[in-house]
């Protein structure tokens, strides 16, 4: 009979490997994006900003609570990041026209320019992957990632 401790350790290791397989390409993308943004004149960006936050602000701005919901982040953590983005000139807080107590967080001109440069860099990275891996493998990768996302979303809905 197998030792339950060894089995549990192996299962834990496999779970870490799975999570790393999902995380590593994203982290590599962020590193590359950050490096190329710095070379393009946006050296004051941070890896921790990722792309999600600014992507949501493309819609013209959101309240902090809405942004926290969409990015699955606490308001406290998000407030810290928004403060950094505001200090570096990427976002601004403006009064919410529907509620004088609330603020809308929206991209500044610098934020829009940085987003455009980031989009171009991401398209370039995707093109590089396409050239390196080929169209068929890229389609397989995209389909597999959608399938994994679907499985994970289904399992979350069953909890």
Confidence of residue 92 (pLDDT cuts 50, 70, 90): very high
pLDDT digits (tens, 9 = 90+) for 19-73: 888 888 988 998 999 999 999 999 888 766 765 678 788 777 999 999 999 888 8
Q: Is residue 9 part of a domain?
A: no
CATH number, domain with residue 38: 1.10.10.10
Provide the number of structural domains found in the chain.
Answer: 1
Residue ranges of the alpha helices (H) in the chain? 4-39, 52-57, 64-71, 75-87, 109-133, 135-158
- Give the domain range for residue 113: 24-158
Q: Is residue 2 part of a domain?
A: no
pTM across the whole model: 0.78
Q: Is residue 10 part of a domain?
A: no
- Alpha-carbon distance 6 to 12, whole Å? 10
Percent of the chain residues past pLDDT 70, beyond the cut: 83
pLDDT given at position 50? 60
Q: Is residue 4 part of a domain?
A: no
Strands 91-96 and 99-107: antiparallel
Confidence of residue 1 (pLDDT cuts 50, 70, 90): low
**DSSP secondary structure string, 40-80?**
TT-TT--GGGTTHHHHHHTTS-B-HHHHHHHHT--HHHHHH
Whether residue 159 is predicted with pLDDT greater than 60 in this model: the reply is: no
């Amino acid at each position: 009979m197998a030792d339950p401790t060894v089995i549990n350790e192996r299962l834990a290791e496999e779970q870490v490997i799975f999570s790393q397989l999902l995380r590593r390409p994203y982290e590599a993308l962020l590193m590359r994006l950050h490096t190329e943004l710095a070379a393009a004149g946006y050296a004051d960006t941070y890896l921790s900003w990722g792309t999600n936050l600014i992507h949501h602000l493309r819609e013209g701005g959101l309240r902090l609570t809405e942004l926290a919901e969409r990015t699955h982040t606490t308001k406290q953590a998000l407030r810290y990041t928004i403060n950094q983005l505001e200090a570096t000139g990427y976002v601004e807080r403006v009064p919410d026209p529907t509620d004088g107590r609330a603020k809308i967080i929206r991209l500044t001109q610098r934020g829009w320019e940085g987003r455009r440069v980031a989009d171009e860099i991401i398209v370039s990275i995707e093109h590089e992957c396409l050239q390196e891996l080929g169209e068929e493998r890229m389609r397989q990768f995209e389909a597999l990632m959608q399938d994994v996302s679907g499985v994970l979303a289904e399992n979350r809905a069953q909890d």
